Each structure stands twice: as structure tokens, then as C-alpha cells.
Chains A and B, each alone.
Chain A
């Protein structure tokens, strides 16, 4: 989810009005037949681990291509690097499911006289998060490890001042500027150095959940739809985090009859003024509001109800802040729905979601894609 078009974050109503039923529900709550395991789970974890900030998505794109090569009818990369994975080419209906494979990160803008890397942010960061993090700098000769440096607390006069980009740098252990310049070029991308971690209850914590999980769900929907009478294009879109750039030409090129954009959304199951009404582990979130086609939102909720899949609902009077906003106005206009995976700590290295919500999302979107028309 980009933070460029934040709509009103307030809430819709939860679809789960029966509190007793909710209380009795034991984990795992999702009882459908979609299960992310084995090769699919390995792929997801590797996808989460792959560094690919906006504009530098090729490593993630290549991984997607390898994974889809085993079952897709067609895979192609368009002019700006979106990967289109198609099944059932030529079927009567064509549906686009899209998630973005870019993530937020940084880019080296200057190597200073001491060999420290100055950087700009790629996408929307809370700058209180990077200081002290270990990072990976992706160079043409391989990945370097470094740390985000700032002055020690002893050196800071006003500790209440918020962190600015100019107060931060990346230290790759170089002793001189020449040493750093031999290793790093201006324009090399940077991500936080964390490994995905799966908890015992199948919740996952990682960077880049936003929005590798959306791209993963799109791919799994296409894989499951193979052999149906609907052409499904899973669009793994680029450059969402810098303003929903890639999905616009991606959707234009795919030219579908209708579309679902899959992203992540913030949650209400944390302390504070959370401006949300969706919890991790209570089902995918269906968006209602001004940017989405209400017909599709209703269909998704009805299908979920009939199939016994729990969903949550959010609403926005303006944009959704997802690629759904640009898919809607691509080409001659595309009817679009938005489904989100409730995820804590968005735009941090500890983004946290429940695998079950992703499984329920795949089930729901697959049912919608292959519904009777």
C-alpha cells in the first residue's frame, strides 16, 4: 500500500456481527481447502526475502517468472517491468488480479568524504524506524551489509526532535571514500536486512509483506483458476510505493473485463488510535467506497458469506491508496475491487500478517474470478 493517496482511514462495519460465534472460534479459523505449504510456502518466503524496492524489482520479477513457469500459459514482462502471468489465454472472460512486487527502501544518492552513504527514501518511510537497522546494499557486484547510522544519543542535544533524512547515513564499514566508491555506485538500492520469520501459529513477520503477499495471492488465484473458463492475468506490478505507477500501464496492457487489486491494510488490533476496524487473523478485508466498483465489493461479500469465509470490510470516501485507484482509470476504465490482507506495522521491517488471511483471500478471490456469469 502506498501512502500517497491515503483516503479516509475510518472504518466500515465489520461483517462479523455475531460476537458469540467469534469468541467460540478457535484457531485456525479458516476451514476452506486452500493451504499455503510446501513449494508455495517456500516461494512466498523467498519472495519476502528478495530485495526489490520500487524501480529495482528485477530480482523479485525473476523469482516470479521461475515460479510461474511451471504452470502458466504465458509469462511476459512489459516495458516498465510488470510481470504478466496468464492462464487460460483466449477464454471468454478476462480477469486481472494484481499485487505489487516492489517494496519501500532507499537509494544511495551520495558517497561522502568519509565513505558514508547518504540516501533518499524510496516510498513512504516513518524515519524513526531506519536508525540502527542493519541493511543490505544491492550493488552490481553483490549484496553488502551495512547499518543505518546517526549520532549517538550522547551527541544529540534535542532528543525529542524527529529524525530527518539528513541526520542519517549508511555505514558499510569502509575506512575511506575511495574504498566505498569502489564498492557502491550512486543509485544502488538498499533494503533493511531482515529474514522472514514464521511463528508457530502460522503468522509471518517480514519486511516487504507490503505487497509481496498481494502478488503471491494474485499468482495463487491464477494457478488455481487454470483449466477454468476464465482467462486470468496475475499482474505483478512495479512502482506502487512511489505513487501507483506500474499498475496503470500494466492494466492498460492486460485490457481485462474486470479486476481485483490485492494489497495490505493497517489494523485495529494494536494499541493507540488505529483508525481502522480490521484485525489480523479475522479474514481478508473487502474495500467499499468511492474508488472501487460497488458491484464487485458486494459480490465478494456475498460469495464469502455463501462459502463460509470470514471477511472484514473497510470503506473510504476517496482513494483506497492501492493500485486499485489506477487500475480503475486505465485505458477505457476497468471495474475494480480491492481486497487487503490485514497487516500490522506497515512500512516497517516487522510487517506481520496471518497466513490464514492470505489463504482465505486466495479462496475468496478464486471463487469470485470463476463465479457463474
Chain B
């Protein structure tokens, strides 16, 4: 055990918040099967004193400062990419379909967790493709197709497999979130950073808004179905009609080998605030002004067409939702080793809180 020296910067999060983040990341919750992560999120929401509700499709809401001012929605989708068991073959191997957009090269050789039988019980398995010895040169050069992959759960017959797993059971990669780097590092590696981090940010913003008694009704939302394009966020904003909506998601920076074309974006330089044709220029300008006034670091990005986030859904829900987008830079998205810097998560929260305070101070127009 070491004693923190006084020249070390304060950790980005207190122990309770960081513990919650790690637990949230660890819960298996592919699109359509979000309940484990959603339940953990709601438990924390109750603990911080928010009013907690859900809608019919599984989206969770945590409301603070009800009717204290204009209503602002902060949305992070709680689902992640995963797989679903589509067939059990005659030898007890499982065939799977993708939930969300996988790069299939990352799948072979991974350990997986299946939420199996009885309902939700964890079954461990591994994803395999034909052994390299049996692949010809062409096959070796090609990315595997989903049909080439099987999950082995250590059984010897279809009957035995059926006692553990049913068709339709969801699957995630079996990895545990962990801090990486040296003693001063604030890097975190995990699956489901896309987008448990957004759901975490939303709830932290609500917690702080509540603690500070900011004169705005803040509704943190852990939405479902983003990774399959269904966008529970649109139903959520339709239901509560906020005057402003902030989508919190993750985005690939340009600071890894081969990614420089994505632009001069990096971990540790603060949230990436998007401008562009889908978003509300008025609200984005408010957000930028608040970040500048609070002297918080951020990175600007522009999108000529869609944002490929829930913002594309919320802008056209109901009577039209004025939407902005805050993205936490995260490397290796849609792999089990997504990487994020806790300071960027911290700054994202601070920027959004500064913006809400700015809106509240303006008299909630």
C-alpha cells in the first residue's frame, strides 16, 4: 500500500463512483437484453435520490430537481454489442448471430459468457473457428464470417447443451474491466465502454445537479437499442419532451496507428463536442460557450451528415428535440479492449454540468 503524495492530481472519481462504473461495465447487456446493466444503473440512481422510472421497452429514467426549471435530458445508451445463440447443432456447439456491428476478426479465441439456463445463469464458453492447421491459404487470409464461428461450452451432445442454453440466449465476451498503465495512469480497458460510459456520465450529471440544487429538471436516461439502430432514446424524448437533449456516447479518436485520418483527436484532451447538420446549432453553441466559460478542455468535431449516434433518432422524435452530442474519446470501439481515459469522462461530466448551470442561469429560456 502506498500513500498518495501531495503532488499527485486528485483521482477523477471517488471510490464509490469508480466502483459503480466498473460494476456497470461488467454487467452483460447486449441490445434487447439490457436489464442487468439497467437494473444496476437504477439501483445507483435510487441511491443518489433520483426519481426512478422505466418505460415499456426497458429504458430507465432518473429525474432530479423535478419542476425546478426547464427539462434537460442527458442520454447514454446502456446496451452494448454482443451475440445471440441462434442454433444448437447436433454435437452441442452453439451457432450465433451478431447483435450490433462486429468486426469478426476479434471473435475467434475469445472466452464468452452466455446468459443461459436457468434464466440468466452464467455459462462459460469459447468462440472457435476451424483450427489454423486445417485452413488453406485463402481461408487464412480472409476475415472469418459469422457462419464460420461456433461456441464450445464443454458439452458432448445437443441434449446436454440444451440443459444449459436456449436459442435466444445473449452472449458477451468474458473480460473484466481493469485500470491499465503506470501508477499515475487514468486509463481503463473494458468491453461495453460503448456505451456504459455514456450512461454513467448521464447519471453522474444528475447526481451533481441534484447535489448542487441547480434550477433545472435533469432527467438522466439509460436508453436501450442503440447498437441495433432501434434507438430507445427517441421513445424516451417523445415521452418526456425535454427542451434540450444531450446525447453522451463514445467516439474513435485519431491517436492510434492508422487512424490519423480521423483527425487530431486524442485521449486525455477532453470530450469531443460535435457540430453539424443533424444537431441543433443553438444548443451546441450553448454547450461550447459553457465549456469555454468554465475553461474546460474539449475537442471540436464536425459531421456533414448523420452522427451515427442516438442524436439521429432524438432530433426527429415527437415535435423535434433540440439535441447536442458529447462524445468521450475511446479507442478500439466494438472490441473487448475498448480503452478510455477517466479524465475525459470526468471532463465530459463537468462540461455538461457547466452547460446545465449556464442554461439555468439564463432563466431556462
Q: Which residues of A contact B (CB under 8 A)?
A: 53-56, 58, 78-82, 102, 106-110, 119-123, 185-188, 239, 241-243, 245-246, 248-250, 252-253
Known A79-B322, A187-B275, A249-B320; further 12 A-B contacts with Cβ < 8 A: A53-B277, A56-B281, A79-B321, A81-B320, A81-B322, A106-B304, A186-B302, A241-B277, A242-B306, A245-B315, A249-B316, A253-B318
Within 8 A of A (CB), among B286-341: 300-306, 315-323
- On chain B, the residues within 8 Å of A109 by CB distance are 263, 301-304
- The verdict on A249 contacting B318 (CB below 8 Å), with A107-B302, A185-B300 known, is yes
B280 near A107 with CB under 8 A, answer: no
- On chain B, the residues within 8 Å of A253 by CB distance are 318-320
Residue of A119, A121, A188, A249 touching B319 (CB-CB under 8 A) = A249
B320 near A121 with CB under 8 A, answer: no
- The verdict on A242 contacting B318 (CB below 8 Å), with A107-B275, A110-B263 known, is no
- On chain A, the residues within 8 Å of B322 by CB distance are 79-81
- On chain B, the residues within 8 Å of A120 by CB distance are 302-305
Within 8 A of A (CB), among B159-183: none
Selected A-B contacts with CB under 8 Å, 13 pairs: A56-B281, A78-B320, A79-B243, A79-B318, A106-B304, A107-B277, A120-B302, A186-B301, A249-B318, A249-B319, A249-B321, A252-B318, A253-B318
- On chain B, the residues within 8 Å of A54 by CB distance are 277
Interface of B is mostly: loop
A242 near B315 with CB under 8 A, answer: no
- On chain A, the residues within 8 Å of B282 by CB distance are 58, 81
- On chain B, the residues within 8 Å of A107 by CB distance are 275-277, 302-304
- The answer for the CA separation of A187 and B263 in the assembled complex, in Å, is 13
Tell me, yes or no, whether B31 is within 8 Å of chain A by CB: no
- On chain A, the residues within 8 Å of B319 by CB distance are 78-79, 249-250, 252-253
10 nearest interchain CB pairs?
A187-B275, A120-B304, A249-B320, A55-B277, A80-B320, A253-B319, A54-B277, A187-B302, A79-B320, A186-B300
- The answer for the CA separation of A108 and B304 in the assembled complex, in Å, is 9
A76 → chain B closest CB, angstroms = 10
Tell me, yes or no, whether B351 is within 8 Å of chain A by CB: no
B233 → chain A closest CB, angstroms = 14
- The answer for the CA separation of A242 and B320 in the assembled complex, in Å, is 15
- The answer for the CA separation of A120 and B261 in the assembled complex, in Å, is 13
Tell me, yes or no, whether B279 is within 8 Å of chain A by CB: yes
Tell me, yes or no, whether B264 is within 8 Å of chain A by CB: yes
Residue of A102, A108, A121, A245 touching B316 (CB-CB under 8 A) = A245
